[in-house]
Amino acid sequence: MSKVLDELIDSIKCLPGVGPKSATRMAYYLLQRDPKGARRLANSILNSFELLGKCTSCNNFSETPTCNLCLDPKRNKKILCIIEMPTDLLMFEQTHSFDGMYYILMGRLSPLDGIGPKDLNMGGLYDRCKDEQIQEIIIATNFTKEGDATATYITELLKDLGKKLSRIARGMPSGSEIEYTDSGTLAQAISERKTINQKF
């Protein structure tokens, strides 16, 4: 086969869950059926890397140093909710039951995949939580083995800050991920959150 085509197929394989067969199929599709879409995709990827950085406040991707959500004066600056992924933020926003701030870890601790505290920039999280405006920190990592381990690590990390720490309620079944939880259950998990450090 062509070297260029090989390279395209190989690049597509970097997407999660895409093996050699689907990558080949997608490459032919882009070239043969949708060259316009393919160009648009290529440009969007390049643009994203050029124009997007991380919000200094919530760690989400943003075109500006601080993202729109963090700049919104209507958000409650006293509560910070720690989540794993930007998709979790969308889920929480859909519940319309949380108006506080977020911090996005961009992953979870997972020793098996070689993801440790340094890879998740836990230092950045600590600095964000030191903000004097923040009074309560809700740990909303997933109820999976890795999510729970991450929650335990964060609890240890933040316990000397003297702020109220809570974990979203286990209304969600164990092993469940926020991304696949319905709005009602998620809203309940926030409102029934459990305080971790007793003195608050």
Task: List residues binding Zn ion (CB under 5 A).
Answer: 55, 57-58, 67, 70
Question: What DSSP character marks residue 83?
Answer: E
- Helix 86-95 crosses helix 183-191 at what angle (to 10 degrees)? 90
d(CA 86, CA 93): 11
- Between 89 and 196, name the residue whose CB sits nearer to Zn ion: 89
Burial of 18 (0-12, 13-18, 19+ CB in 10 A): middle
In the complex, what is the shortest distance from the CB of residue 70 to Zn ion, in angstroms, rounded to a whole number?
A: 3
In the complex, what is the shortest distance from the CB of residue 42 to Zn ion, in angstroms, rounded to a whole number?
A: 28
Burial of 186 (0-12, 13-18, 19+ CB in 10 A): buried
> Where are the strands (E) in 65-126, listed by range?
76-83, 100-104
In the complex, what is the shortest distance from the CB of residue 100 to Zn ion, in angstroms, rounded to a whole number?
A: 12
In the complex, what is the shortest distance from the CB of residue 67 to Zn ion, in angstroms, rounded to a whole number?
A: 3
- Between 86 and 152, name the residue whose CB sits nearer to Zn ion: 86
In the complex, what is the shortest distance from the CB of residue 107 to Zn ion, in angstroms, rounded to a whole number?
A: 17
d(CA 50, CA 46): 6
- Between 11 and 66, name the residue whose CB sits nearer to Zn ion: 66
- Between 30 and 55, name the residue whose CB sits nearer to Zn ion: 55
Strand order of the sheet with strand 194-195? 100-104, 76-83, 136-139, 164-167, 194-195
- Between 70 and 80, name the residue whose CB sits nearer to Zn ion: 70
d(CA 190, CA 170): 10
In the complex, what is the shortest distance from the CB of residue 9 to Zn ion, in angstroms, rounded to a whole number?
A: 36
- Between 57 and 181, name the residue whose CB sits nearer to Zn ion: 57
